[in-house]
Amino acid sequence: MLKQSLCAAISGIVLLVPSLHSLMQADQAPQTIQITAHRFAFAPNEVTLKVNQPAVLVFQSEDVTHGMHFDDLDINATIAKGTGATVKITPDKTGDFVGHCAVFCGVGHGEMAFTIHVVE
């Protein structure tokens, strides 16, 4: 009787492990966010990411070449009209990080900001 109960318990654990592994992998699938750059703004102009979880930021330009630069997140990308830019990031610290357009795009260039909020 004890042997049968032990075998049943082990079988249940063996069957459960692949399901847990799939759930853990799904939780780690990168979050993909589309961002459009245009004179003189990003849309959306802020996003929220989770710390230690991968994300993909897909930038597209509607008009001219723009850039994206974050000192604290080691992001530096050129967003060319027609080709855009894809940035893969796994933030390792929480906080609010403000990036700016890194390619001069006209008189409103200095106001062109994008914020990444990283939360637990």
What is the third-level CATH fold of 30-119? Immunoglobulin-like (2.60.40)
**How buried is 10 (Cβ within 10 angstroms: 0-12 exposed, 13-18 middle, 19+ buried)?**
exposed
Q: Can you give the pLDDT at residue 2?
A: 62
Percentage of the residues of the chain whose pLDDT score is greater than 90 = 76
**Pairwise CA distance, residues 26 & 1, whole Å:** 38
**Pairwise CA distance, residues 54 & 28, whole Å:** 7
Domain ranges in the chain? 30-119
pLDDT tens profile 42-99:
999 999 999 999 999 999 999 999 999 999 999 999 999 999 999 999 999 999 999 9
Q: Which two tokens stand for residue 18?
A: 């692949």
Q: Can you give the pLDDT at residue 28?
A: 74
Strands 55-61 and 31-38: parallel
Q: Is 44 helix (H, G, I), strand (E, B) or coil?
A: coil
